[in-house]
Copies of this chain bind each other. A is one copy, B any other.
Amino acid sequence: MSVSPLGADKTDIPAYMQALGRAAREASQGLRRADSGRKNQALLAMAERVDGSREALLAANAEDMQRGREAGLDAALLDRLALSTARIDAMIEGLEQVAALPDPVGEIDGLRARPSGIQVGQMRVPLGVIGIIFESRPNVTVEAASLCLKSGNACILRGGSEARASNAALSECLKVGLEDAGLPAGSVQVVATTDRAAVGELISRPEFVDVIIPRGGKSLIERISREAKVPVIKHLDGVCHVYVDATADQNKALAIAINAKTQRYGTCNTMETLLLDAPVAETLLPELAKRFAEHGVELRGCERTRAVLPQAVAASDSDWGEEYLAPILAIKVVDGMGAAMAHIERYGSRHTDVIVTQDYGLARRFLAEVDSSSVMVNASTRFADGFEYGLGAEIGISTDKLHARGPVGLEGLTTRKYVVLGDGQVRQ
């Protein structure tokens, strides 16, 4: 019978998860009190410990990799699972960067006097306890823990079972960092069982967990959203569009379209559908085809696209709305911005959409009316990213509308409560 550090029997999953939940809830009270200096001390101590544990981390990871190869994991999964000296360097750098970020907690906005004589403002405070569920990449353990800690939240991390040895080794480093700063051990807890029932417990206990952030494939996220009894901040798909208007600067349009598709294929902010205003289709399509061919991108076009580019594959209705995450691009010729916006409204995923135009009025309307987490004029979809936006860090990109929308940094892990300063005022 294996016993967790908390003394709970890990074969009794509900009891084990409740023990983690209670420890997290209690730790979150301590974290509310912790000032930035103490949180940064813990982050830097964690970085130091990761640095000093390179051999142990690589050995633990080798164990995971060995098991993964035996289990027949594919090359992409094995790549995500692998730790290397460079990846450990990146973890250490990440911890140091989060320590250097400004602390959002305690900031008071808009403190104003009211006619009654009270002063009212809003103070930024931690959410409380955050549950994070993720798949193979072990560096997410460190990244998520650091962002939760800096924003004053306790966290319970549930990584993929294929990374269990790596995560356990990283967990030790995080624990030492907390101890060094005198912060409660319950501030960061890594779930030490691979039993899937643990996820079910984690997402159904609002008394222990304030919000769940799932990171991983769409099916994982859909399942968690469907079953959770706790609010979820989530990212579903990224079906991002670039619309090139008739007034666009054609060189900028080409540069943006190529970059949005080819700079990286597997990211959620990659363009999946290119919409071309009819007057520019004939001139732009041949040059686009040439450039995309150089990158080996398969083009799937509507009939009007194929009238200019007969070599393009005929797009079927399922191509609109498809997140390829691959060197494939759907292209549609439309009649003006209204048609483009209607297409985005119908097939888009409300992630990131771009207009390329030199027309001021169209740019203004597109910005106001397209209902996506990022709406851009004359820029590549690939900018939709917490670092590019200046958040300093990113725990994910939310495609939800409530609470956090778009790239989520430290601020998205906090909430604001009202604070009222009085001098004996009563209500009339």
State whether the Cβ of A390 lies closer than 8 Å to any Cβ in chain B: yes
Q: Of the candidates B345, B403, B426, which one forms a contact with A382 in the assembled complex, judged by CB atoms under 8 Å apart?
A: B426
Total A residues in contact with B, Cβ cutoff 8 Å: 67
State whether the Cβ of A416 lies closer than 8 Å to any Cβ in chain B: yes
Residue contact B231 to A374, C-beta cutoff 8 Å: no
Residue contact B383 to A106, C-beta cutoff 8 Å: no
Residues of B within 8 A of A263 (CB): 426-427
Residue contact B123 to A401, C-beta cutoff 8 Å: no
Q: Of the candidates B125, B259, B402, which one forms a contact with A403 in the assembled complex, judged by CB atoms under 8 Å apart?
A: B402
Residue contact B118 to A425, C-beta cutoff 8 Å: no
- Residues facing B in A368-395 (CB within 8 A) are 368-369, 371-380, 382-384, 388-390
Residue contact A384 to B419, C-beta cutoff 8 Å: no
Copy tally for this chain in the complex stands at 2
- The SS class assigned to the A binding surface is mixed
Q: Of the candidates B123, B251, B415, which one forms a contact with A402 in the assembled complex, judged by CB atoms under 8 Å apart?
A: B415
Known: A128-B371, A369-B32. A403 touches B403 (CB 8 A): yes
* B interface footprint on A412-428 (CB within 8 Å = 1, 0 otherwise): 00011111111111110
* B interface footprint on A120-145 (CB within 8 Å = 1, 0 otherwise): 10010101100000000000000000
Known: A255-B424, A371-B128. A405 touches B378 (CB 8 A): no
Assembly CA distance A406 to B365 (angstroms): 33
- Residues facing B in A208-264 (CB within 8 A) are 210-211, 231, 233, 249, 251-252, 255-256, 258-260, 263
* B interface footprint on A136-172 (CB within 8 Å = 1, 0 otherwise): 0000000000000000000000000000000000000
Residues of A whose CB lies within 8 Å of any CB of B are 29, 32-33, 106, 112, 114, 116, 118, 120, 123, 125, 127-128, 210-211, 231, 233, 249, 251-252, 255-256, 258-260, 263, 345, 365, 367-369, 371-380, 382-384, 388-390, 400-403, 405-407, 415-427
- Given pairs A118-B376, A252-B424, A405-B416, 18 additional interface contacts (CB within 8 A): A29-B369, A32-B371, A114-B390, A120-B383, A123-B375, A125-B368, A127-B402, A211-B401, A231-B402, A373-B417, A373-B418, A376-B419, A378-B424, A378-B425, A382-B426, A388-B427, A405-B418, A407-B418
**A-B contacts, 19 listed (Cβ < 8 Å):** A32-B368, A32-B369, A120-B389, A211-B402, A231-B400, A255-B426, A256-B424, A259-B427, A260-B426, A374-B417, A376-B420, A376-B422, A377-B420, A378-B423, A378-B424, A379-B425, A380-B426, A402-B402, A405-B418
